[in-house]
Amino acid sequence: MSSCSLRVEFDDSRRSYEPGQEIRGRVVVMVDKDVTCKKLEITQVWKTHGRGNAQMRCLDRALHASPEWSAGRQYAYPFSFRAPAMPLTYHGNLLNVDHYVDATADIPWARDPRASEDYVLTPGPNSHRDYLATPPDFTKQGTEPASGCARALGWILLPLIIVLLVGLAVFILPIALIVLVVGYVRRRAAESKLGPVDVTLNAPLLPEPADTTSKAHRVAAAFTSGSKRKRAGKHVIIPGQVVQFTIAFTPPGALEITRISARVGAEESVRAGSGTDAKTFTHQIWQQDLELSGSMSPPAGMPVRRTVEVAFPDVPAYSFEITDNKLSWTMSVRVDIPHWPDWVRDVAIVMIPRD
């Protein structure tokens, strides 16, 4: 039996906060017998949970060193944290993102008592601008320092890791180059029939930081986009928005087209397990198929322009990505050319809160 137990209490019983608001409360310690605690740690974290691997990021912490607790008494330790800008709380099918205040008492030679309570992070008046600003890269690992043992083990394993990475590069790089070249050739083949294709979405682009992309990445982008002059950014969408999508081209020769279509959707994608045992699961949140044109035969030099409206659902499913868990919005455009490689382009979309 533990010598004490913990409970997390919030001052606001609703436990709902907007970014920047103060999260105040206390950790209550109920003591069954005299005990000296090495430290009481109170942390503010967000976690993913669901079908995929659980992941966590620590945002802030408070430490109380070496408190002594007497049997039969209760002690309260207040906490005050600032609600983060993102990620906002999300509850889905395969993926959930929640915020917590956790408490752990480090008791020597005994099981450490723990307590955890969640709170809801909702959009605030500045959430739209927060998402437009350079968002935090959730795919990066935490910056907490490793222990001495962990650092020593890392140095021991470093040569093995380097050998494995070199081995993977020898096998994977040629395959990746083949895929890039095949995609480039297919796009060039399709554009030889269509001519330059202009795809537009009347939605603003997400501001990007200064271009620090390596030359190798720029070459790969040129292969996959089919253009060295311009790299498409990510279009910003808000829940319930209606936007116009347009595709335009002028075929250099006579052309047969079976169909021009687009597919827009939102998807949860999570990975469970690791290594060869890893499995990826997906769930379609929303999807819409758009018909821009049926069968047509434009003559050489005749401009073709098709526009369609896209009505996005009014759902608070904001774009989110971390290593094993992702909520993404996508749009794929296809021009079906009979007996010839189809022309396909993906349009990047980011769903953010309203202004």
- In this predicted structure, what is the pLDDT of residue 138? 73
Per-residue pLDDT of 99-138, as tens digits, reads 999 999 999 888 899 999 999 999 999 999 888 886 655 7
pTM for the predicted model, two decimal places: 0.79
The whole-angstrom distance between residue 56's C-alpha and the CA centroid of its chain comes to 13
**Region 206-222 average pLDDT:** 52
Residue the block writes with tokens 């607790």: 69
Least confident of 41-45, 173-177, 199-203, 250-254: 173-177
Least confident of 221-230, 286-295, 333-342: 221-230
**Region 291-318 average pLDDT:** 94
**Region 30-35 average pLDDT:** 91
- In this predicted structure, what is the pLDDT of residue 145? 40
The residue ranges of DSSP E strands in 37-161, in sequence order, are 39-50, 55-65, 68-69, 74-82, 90-91, 95-106, 114-121
Winning range, highest mean pLDDT, from 78-87, 131-140, 173-182, 271-280: 78-87
Q: Band of the pLDDT at 5, cuts 50, 70, 90?
A: very high
- In this predicted structure, what is the pLDDT of residue 238? 94
The domains located in the chain, with CATH, are 4-122 (2.60.40.640), 150-351 (2.60.40.640)
CB 29 within 8 A of CB 115: no
- In this predicted structure, what is the pLDDT of residue 256? 92
3-state secondary structure of 150: helix
The DSSP 8-state label assigned to residue 342 in this structure reads P
Packing angle between helix 215-225 and helix 148-194, nearest 10 degrees? 40
Least confident of 32-46, 196-210, 257-271: 196-210
Per-residue pLDDT of 262-284, as tens digits, reads 999 999 999 999 888 899 999 99
- CA–CA separation, 302 vs 294, rounded Å? 17
Q: Band of the pLDDT at 192, cuts 50, 70, 90?
A: confident
- CA–CA separation, 94 vs 21, rounded Å? 29
Which residues, 6 or more positions from 351, have their beta carbon under 8 angstroms from its beta carbon? 237, 238, 239, 266, 312, 317, 318, 319, 329
CB 218 within 8 A of CB 246: no
- Report the chain's mean pLDDT, rounded to a whole number: 84
Residue the block writes with tokens 């996959």: 224
Q: Is the pLDDT of residue 90 over 80?
A: yes
